[in-house]
A = this chain, B = another copy of it.
Amino acid sequence: MNIDMIRAAAKRLDGHARRTPILTSPFLDEIAGRRMFVKAECLQHTGSFKFRGGWSALSALTDNALKAGVIAFSSGNHAQGVALAAKEHGVPAVIVMPSDAPAIKIANTRALGAEVVLYDRANEDRDEIGEHLATERGLTLVKPFDEPEVIAGQGTCGLEIAAEMNALGVTEADVAICCGGGGLTSGIALALAADAPGLRVRPVEPEGFDDVTRSLANGRIERNDRMSGSLCDAIITPQPGDITFPIMRAHCGPGIVVTEEECLQAMAHAFERLKIVVEPGGAAALAAALFHPDTFKGDAVVAVATGGNVDPAVFAQALETL
């Protein structure tokens, strides 16, 4: 896993993934107490950064493997990213999803042409289900984060952040990233280490699901106690990955923990000031930048708004915080 793989993924993604804008608002700068740059990955195809990893993984397969099709297991955003990438490559996709995933994510994944297989998040092991189906049908498993070509795809987001911050002359800043298993976080960390070494990644997690923060603090992989019960479903994973954790340990600053209420408030600010739709788990980094200013140093902060696939009722709940 290295920067060359990320640069190669960037070439394969060119013309397929969207180069998402970095947005700003003087109102957010005032709350954050410094210049705040928001990388709007919610505007990526399928509404989250996951399309990058999906496209990267599929486009790296051999012709024969690609033709046979792919399988993925995901709380939703990875599912959509892989489904659209498969559709655009003209190959079949099977998606294994938890039965309690937001309705919009299940419906969207099916509408993107994928076959959806549901499982019970509390009592079934998604890895086991995924591997069984993969073997049975000859599908290639595209893991959601602990997979080099997926990390390489997510890392292309970091190349864009590095290029834009360098162009703006912002050479020292923390980059807050909503963190689940660490695919995006480690990919961006590798990209920044190469192209903008003064930018430091800070993983952000919701309260009660802070496996990465604890793992980084203690120097070893730690698990979450539970796997459901958070509005931030998109970034709930059991533990950091075997590939992602060493990268995060080498390159990231300390993790940051935010509350669900702060995520809802951050969604409302993004609605009001940036005109983007962000889901709770995708707003964790915004929440850190806005409501935990003391954890950052310097006069600039970058926050990645990682996804926007949120049910209308939850979004309405966020608007009520205004």
In contact, B26 and A271 (Cβ under 8 angstroms): no
Which residue in chain B gives the minimum CB-CB distance to A30? B111
A178 to chain B, nearest CB (A): 15
Which residue in chain B gives the minimum CB-CB distance to A319? B312
In contact, B322 and A312 (Cβ under 8 angstroms): yes
Which residue in chain B gives the minimum CB-CB distance to A278? B275
A47 to B277, CA, bound (A): 14
A307 to B257, CA, bound (A): 34
Asked whether any CB of chain B lies closer than 8 Å to the CB of A304, the reply is no
Which residue in chain B gives the minimum CB-CB distance to A322? B312
A108 to B84, CA, bound (A): 39
A18 to B275, CA, bound (A): 14
Asked whether any CB of chain B lies closer than 8 Å to the CB of A272, the reply is yes
In contact, B319 and A42 (Cβ under 8 angstroms): no
A77 to chain B, nearest CB (A): 12
Among B23, B84, B108, B308, contact of A275 (Cβ-Cβ < 8 Å): B308
In contact, B275 and A47 (Cβ under 8 angstroms): yes
A154 to B312, CA, bound (A): 33
In contact, A271 and B315 (Cβ under 8 angstroms): yes
Beyond A26-B112, A275-B278, A316-B316: 18 further Cβ-contacts under 8 Å? A18-B23, A20-B21, A21-B21, A21-B43, A27-B111, A40-B43, A42-B275, A43-B276, A268-B312, A271-B277, A271-B312, A271-B315, A275-B277, A276-B276, A276-B277, A312-B319, A312-B322, A315-B319
